[in-house]
Chain A
Amino acid sequence: MTKIFKHVQSTVVPLPIENIDTDQIIPARFLKATTREGFGNNLFRDWRFDGEDNPKDFVLNHPTYSGKILVAGKNFGCGSSREHAAWAIVDYGFDVVVSSFFADIFKGNALNNGLLPVQVSEAFLQKIFDAVYADPHAEVEVDLESQTIKISQTGEKESFEINPYKKACLINGYDDIDYILSNKAAIEEYELSSKS
């Protein structure tokens, strides 16, 4: 069963960097775990800590910024298909990632883990960055039912796209495997016809 997602209102963590790849989100050397839990400790590991595990000057180490919404530059999640990237972001405590562009595989992985990728225009992304840099307590509201994202203080909002099936999955906690298994007769029929 997928984690249920409906509505989030929260302060945000700004990460105005383009092309953040999944190797940065979770470096390969941390992919040796065989469960889905605990990856949050190593989220953005090499940006957060130096070789001796001392904290670096990075937004996740900055007490000013916190929240359930990560806001990042365009082409977020490019590179490796590792779902560990989505697990790490969820495990750290984020419910939403906002960017002006997402890599395909990451977007799918996020949706399969109850993490909502919200794609906004470049202009709106900049507005969120401006709002949070003007006031770190600035909040953003994301509503899945109405597919809208709003900057609470200014009331500025934008709508976002999501596949209607994936939307239903998130709101109701449906799961892809359950859905495909409901097609089992069709799968077996396909196998028979394709072998003939």
Chain B
Amino acid sequence: MGKTLFDKIWDAHVVSSKEGFPDVLYIDTQFIHEVTSPQAFDGLRKRGLPVFRPKQTVATADHNVPTWDQHLPIKEELSRYQVDMLAKNCKEFGIEFYGLGHPYQGIVHIIGPELGITRPGGTYVCGDSHTSTHGAFGAIAFGIGTSQVEQVLATQCLLQSRPKRMKIEVNGKLQKGVGAKDIILYIISQISAAGGTGYAVEYAGDTIRSISMEGRMTICNMSIEMGARCGLIAPDETTFNYVKGREFAPKGEEWDKALAYWKTLYSDEDAQFDKVLSFRAEDIEPMITYGTNPGMGIGVTQHVPNVHDIDATEQLSYANSLKYMGLHDDQSMLGQPIDYVFIGSCTNARIEDLRQVANFLKGRKKADNVTVWIVPGSKQVQKQALAEGLDKVFEAAGIPLREPGCSACLAMNEDKIPAGKYCVSTSNRNFEGRQGPNSRTFLASPLTAAAAAVTGRITDVRELLEEGELVS
């Protein structure tokens, strides 16, 4: 019987396998950042252990960093302390650190791919649930806890039981104004925030194949929002073209050898999945969330579901969620006034996202009563945006381009949405207080967020797109 893509990669990384035990899985690269690593380094010190493979560990500062005046010392004391501690730990244990000011600094899930560290067939971990992003290259990538960060630092291995395998197919042609973010928000709205728990999810189908690497990363990024252990997409020419020539990508003969192997990475025709789901691209509208988990999403022209249409055991939580959001059931989302727009995060802060937003904003201005933050995902994305003059387009629309970091996705730095305010956000989580205490988040695509920035309310971007307007 054939193997799934997931099993091919997993089997190639098993160091030891014993009945009744989780497998010892070899990890090609671990990414670390300032928030979930300090206790892991402390653990190593207590055990008297070195970092086993420091050259297979990549560190950056992203969660806590300011997105303005990054050349100045971090003002917030605890954030500064955490970033300084990462620098110190990296020095002590011999790990390369892409700190503030370094040309490679950025959100950990953006820099791995753009530096050519993330490759097809690899295994990656990070103390961050959105590590699933790296699966877009046809790789296994897990978000892990700090005890496991310590485990991988100490051994370059992760103790892990093999998850079940799910295939999600999307076929057909996307509507104008609908993109990768809408696809994944749609899938999660259909299968719920727990629908992928226990599974490694492979995305397939002709719609997925037609999407750029940036879009594929957006989709895999949010696999965790349906509870999946990881998400992955079989590598193809789009993948190979993206990786080729990047800083740490294989070169010359090594490239040829790697490429030959990468071309074997797909699920065999007769591979068995534990679950297969299928969706039609034509059914997907620009999406918006209305509640407090990413499964609570609808097409932007739809109405908030009636509480009586919700499963009886979940009605209380549902009502609480709408109360928190200041919305009521059956209401239309179109026209809902908003206060903030955040375009950024490991979900949507790659150069393609910024280009798309810039294309839309050309000749338009942000609404006066809306604060808009555009935060590039990395120094390299920022540099590219400046080279292409995207910052000028943003400025003309009344929006300064900020500096790279996780920013308002989780509001660990100064970029917080004030209590009670509404934010249309291209990030990945609309949990209570995620963007600041009592903030209210509507998750959407970069285009839908840009449309809201212009109108000051939730808008169907398709109505603003002129005939033939280039948006992707």
A residues in contact (CB < 8 Å) with B: 16-19, 21, 23-24, 27-29, 31-36, 46, 51, 73-75, 78-84, 86, 101, 103-105, 108-109, 112-113, 122, 163-165, 176-177, 179-181, 183-184, 186-187, 190-191, 194
Contacts and interface: CB of A to CB of B under 8 A. Distances in A.
B431 A21 contact: yes
A133 B127 CA distance: 38
B431 A79 contact: yes
A161 to B, nearest CB: 12
Contacts of A108: 144-145, 148
B144 A78 contact: no
B293 A176 contact: no
Given A29-B412, A190-B15, 14 more contacts: A23-B433, A28-B63, A32-B412, A34-B81, A46-B437, A73-B313, A78-B293, A79-B224, A81-B143, A103-B227, A108-B145, A109-B145, A112-B147, A179-B21
Contacts of A179: 21, 159
Contact of B155 (A27, A163, A187): A187
A187 B24 CA distance: 9
A176 B433 contact: no
A104 B147 contact: no
Interface in B124-142: 127-129, 131
A35 B320 contact: no
A190 B26 CA distance: 8
Contact of B129 (A31, A75, A79, A187): A79
Contact of A165 (B21, B144, B193): B21
A112 B194 contact: no
A19 B432 contact: no
B47 interface: yes
Interface stretch (B36-44, B245-253, B329-337, B358-366): B36-44
14 contacts: A17-B316, A18-B314, A18-B317, A21-B293, A32-B78, A32-B81, A34-B81, A46-B433, A81-B36, A81-B129, A83-B146, A103-B227, A163-B161, A187-B24
Nearest to A29: B412
B177 to A, nearest CB: 29
Contacts of A191: 26
B39 A36 contact: yes
Nearest to A36: B39
B445 interface: no
A101 B145 contact: no
Contact of A180 (B24, B127, B128): B24
A188 to B, nearest CB: 9
A150 B186 CA distance: 40
A40 B308 CA distance: 37
A176 to B, nearest CB: 5
A18 B295 CA distance: 12
Given A73-B317, A105-B145, A177 B35 contact: no
B20 A164 contact: yes
5 closest pairs, A vs B, by CB? A83-B145, A32-B78, A109-B145, A34-B38, A112-B147
A74 B194 contact: yes
A13 B335 CA distance: 41
B150 interface: yes
B154 A165 contact: no
B194 A104 contact: no
Contacts of A112: 145, 147-148
**Max chain A CB contacts within 10 Å: which of B36, B42, B431?**
B431
B147 A105 contact: no
